[in-house]
Amino acid sequence: MSTRGTIMHGLRRRLAATSALAMGAALMVAIPTPASAAARVDNPYVGATAYVNPDWSAKANAEPGGAAIADTPAFVWMDRIAAIEGSASAMSLREHLDTALDQGADLFQVVIYDLPGRDCAALASNGELGPTELDRYKNEYIDPISEILADPAYASLRIVTIIEPDSLPNIVTNAGGTAGSTDACATMKANGNYEKGVGYALHTLGAIPNVYNYIDAAHHGWLGWDSNMGPAATEFKKAATSEGATVNDVAGFIVNTANYSALKEPNFKITDSVNGTTVRQSKWVDWNYYTDELTFAQALRTLLVSQGFNSNIGMLIDTARNGWGGSARPTSAGPLTSVDAYVNGGRVDRRIHAGNWCNQSGAGIGERPTAAPEAGIDAYVWAKPPGESDGNSAPVENDEGKGFDRMCDPTYEGNGRNGNSMTGALANSPLAGHWFSAQFQELVKNAYPPIDGSGNPGGGGDTQAPTAPTGVTATAKTSGSVSLSWTASTDNTGVTGYDVFRNGVKVGSTTTTSYTDSGLSASTAYTYTVKAKDAAGNVSAASSALSATTSAGGGTGTGTLKVQYKNTDSSATDNQIRMGLQLVNTGSTAVDLSTVKLRYWFTPEAGASTFGTSCDWAVIGCGTLTHSVKTAGSAAGASHYLEVGFGSGTLAAGASTGEMQLRLNKSDWSNFNEADDYSRSTVTSYADASKVGLYITGALAWGTAP
């Protein structure tokens, strides 16, 4: 997942030949021809040519401005049993796969979406199967799909599946005891058919070598609180080990499927405060630990790995409709008169409430599908093709099992799930999945990055590239990382970011004039260049090259990051070890926290050899932290250590994470004797802690190890 690049569009599509192919299918029996098998890869999106759905493309082409994005790859939805065989107006699954081969594509994306009692909290996307029809789901839906995907004719395709949007998150939040819970969700929690269905889909489809399963994981405005995020990870693990499935059947997870949550909130941070009130306390954020999908996805990935999912899982983010561009897009934070004014004035997500999900007014197309755009992110994708309705704004008779959900009614005053707010839905919307022309045109108009007439991100024909960055300097080096800074570029419309290249290969992007490249080898020389880019997609020439050599490994850490500690445990012989830690950046550039680990060494004495760990409170949010106990050998006072990691984020130059209150216990709750623990001190106010280790990409960067 470290390689980055834009997904190539399969542009050898032949729309005019579609009807001819259909006529030909009526005249002969198609015999699958063997294809060379697609080698299993870590990230199926890297270097892939993705399939463009002709059904969706034709509709987009017919809309004003639609030609600019009609060749964008998006997911095909199998939202009922009949969709597998297709209809007069929609291609079958096999026809889609055949057309993908005809296009020369090697990546095919499909949504698996027909669970029993589907979407128990949203009537607009209810499905055709009743709560107890698990056998029909298996035999009439998953098995036929599996048979088609396993056809040797499609062995050359990397097939990415999204497994059952909204199902498992509903079990966590809407199955009883919370505002907006439904009897239908309580039923599905009780009968277990969501977990069983997801497990069966993972197990059956995961047995196909070229299939990559991604489980739906809602969005930050749904699961971003610790009270939801932890139980969700547990629920995902339960489903992923049901009905024969294992974590090896899971390539990753997807967030924001068919939703509108902003990819990034550029104008404020979760750690900001206004007049002593934190952003988390604002009405919009409502004590959430995340403000956008990128930080949520990265933190959730870290949590899922800690729960036992494979360490190489990747995240997808649906960016089809979360751009929030147009004239209403703020360019700075709001006024400092109150935290609500500060957040509401600056947030790019212009929904009335983060719980609003149906055909949102003012939304725009977001980032175009891109492979490996950020650490831990396999791709930005278009899971919900723009222009396909979320649900009908008034009752509509239909044979698709789809009901009328008042959240799609622009006159509805809301419920407990959206804080009893207005829905913000567009009027005159058709059934879920049906074409909604007015919405498509609004999405194109409000795209961010903007869309020009050629389908590129742009702003009115801007073709002028930014100036090349200058003054590239290595501001800090460890055995595993190099921190860079440079002088800002200039542009006629404004620089939006920078791409960093190591030995000629792009390794990351940033919106600031600094970047830390991690995961490097000790005592090794690397060459760096930087390019600037603007909103129109124009890219500057490369900066002058800088050669930087990493430090030697081992020894005592003397980097620009340091750890401070205070003892919050008055007893050295009780059944818990408690401490306060904080991380301080004394350097001149920001540090990528996802590369950082802290180690507090101790000995457990007698008793259980397994441990529980907790974060009681943290300025940056307990949800951003990982923590576990690991063995360290037989050094005096240091046979074990508490390791603390950070799911995502950066620590600015001169900044501190603020206090992190942590504790650990043995699983049998027997007592410790902390008096001889290597890292323990008796200081009760924060002081530099030379016996608490700080590691960057595995190399000691602060403190002295035992």
Catalytic residues: 119
In this structure, the number of other CB atoms found within 10 A of the CB of residue 636 comes to 11
Q: Report the helix count and the strand count for the chain, using DSSP H and E.
A: 14, 33
Backbone angles phi, psi at 482, to 5 degrees: -130, 125
In this structure, the number of other CB atoms found within 10 A of the CB of residue 622 comes to 18
Give the bridge partners for 273, in sequence order.
278
CA–CA dist 137, 193 (Å, integer): 10
Angle at 624 between CA 639 and CA 600, to 5 degrees: 20
DSSP states of 165-176 = TTHHHHHHHSSS
Taking a C-beta distance cutoff of 8 angstroms, is the pair 117, 193 a contact? yes
**226-240 vs 193-206: helix axis angle to the nearest 10?**
50
- Which one, of 365, 439, 384, 315, lies nearest residue 79 by Cα? 384
Taking a C-beta distance cutoff of 8 angstroms, is the pair 268, 278 a contact? no
Give the bridge partners for 477, in sequence order.
482
* Cα distances (Å, whole numbers) of residue 648 to 179, 225, 233, 582, 624: 30, 16, 17, 16, 7
In this structure, the number of other CB atoms found within 10 A of the CB of residue 51 comes to 29
* Cα distances (Å, whole numbers) of residue 185 to 10, 192, 372, 664: 40, 10, 35, 35
Taking a C-beta distance cutoff of 8 angstroms, is the pair 6, 533 a contact? no
DSSP states of 581-646 = EEEEE-SSS-EEGGGEEEEEEE---SS-S-EEEEEEEETT-GGGEEEEEEE--S-TT-SEEEEEEE
- Which one, of 506, 559, 546, lies nearest residue 4 by Cα? 506
- Which one, of 290, 282, 294, lies nearest residue 344 by Cα? 282
